[in-house]
Structure 1
């Protein structure tokens, strides 16, 4: 178990270092090429994966109808914009 954890950490550290190398090379070297761009974009793409997803049964509040309308009204009310349905 410890060796698997160590291997995962080493892989994450190595891939993170590779990504930073590609990003810094793109930013600082005028002759950076396609390889650096592919590594940088690939790493960024991994960072936007929906790793926060939960099963549908646990996401009940996020699935109810009208939740965006309710959130926007609450947000407008907090900012003092006089959201719809708010009595003064």
Structure 2
């Protein structure tokens, strides 16, 4: 379990370091700090809360695609 949290804490610490350096010492902040801050912010926009849909027991996996089951046009 510890191996799962260590990378998250290290990356979170690097992001906070970059953001605080840009806020407190903007004249010394460079491209690396900007890239780390922008990358961390961009990752926060990912929909990590999305979970897989639960299928009924009898429905085969091939029946649904990425956009859902195919239906004939009316």
Interval of TM-score (by shorter of Structure 1 and Structure 2):
0.5 to 0.7
In structure 1, stretches of 5+ residues that fail to align are: 59-88
Moved over 6 A (4+): none
2:46 pairs with one of 45, 49, 54: 49
In structure 2, stretches of 5+ residues that fail to align are: 56-74
SS at match of 1:39: helix
Higher RCO by CA contacts (8 Å cutoff, separation 6 or greater):
2
- Aligned residue pairs total 54
Q: CA deviation at 1:53?
A: 1.7
RMSD of the alignment, in Å? 1.6
Which structure carries more strand by proportion?
2
1:17 maps onto 2:26 in alignment: no
Which structure carries more helix by proportion?
1
